[in-house]
Amino acid sequence: MLDSDLLAAAAAATGFMPADEGLALAEAVLAAPAGPILEVGSYLGKSTLYLAAAARPRGATVVTVDHHRGSEEHQPGWDYHDPGLVDPRVGLIDTLPGFRGTIAAAGAEDVVVAVVARAEQFARLWATPLAFLFLDGSHTDESAQRDLASWAPHLAAGGVLAIHDVFPDPADGGQAPYRIYRKALDSGDYTELTGRGSLRLLRREPSPRQER
């Protein structure tokens, strides 16, 4: 069962997660093993609330990591730049106040732990096997590959890797998420689950060593 109030808040929040994909994301969390849920790429908290809608009924916590300076596509001159998100004191994007407002307004502060850091730096400090990993950070090749390399080793056997904005056809969107999806799937370490839209879901299989 998903938290209906948090689902409604997620649907109303600002962000780039379509409602059907957000619902599929939440349902995938419900079906995942028990354990920590971690999101790479918080932006203003829309997808975080979909994760929280599944975490709350499970008594789980969503950890979400973002430097909150915006991805490349959020910078001045890019298609998704929002001047209202620029902190005039430093002249840089700052999505943290908006994120905190989204989470507080939804009443989800008891479910969500926000970490302000670069994902690869925080990954070096993380030691607990993850039950669910959602990659939705910067969509450049360098960043996407770095996120996969930093966080996939923390995913427990049986855990679920979710990747957003996967578009096999370049005409539909950028290819960096598609390339890390293919890299994960082609590694032989994952079995694909049923996703929705641009959301791909992969279950990590036990390694031969773990099976012995």
Task: Show which residues are catalytic.
Answer: 139
Residues 6+ apart with CB under 8 A from 166: 177, 178, 181, 195, 198, 199, 200
> DSSP 3-state assignment of 130?
strand
- Given a contact cutoff of 8 angstroms between Cβ atoms, the answer to whether 129 and 159 are in contact is yes
**Helix, strand, or coil (residue 182):** helix
| Max Cα-Cα span within the chain | 57
Residue with tokens 């299989």: 205
Buried b (16+ CB within 10 A) or exposed e, 9-34: bbbebebebeeebbbbbbbbbeebee
- What token pair was written down for 131? 């039950």
What's the rounded Cα separation, in Å, for the pair 204 and 114?
25
User: Who's near 173: CB < 8 A, 6+ residues apart?
Assistant: 165, 167, 198
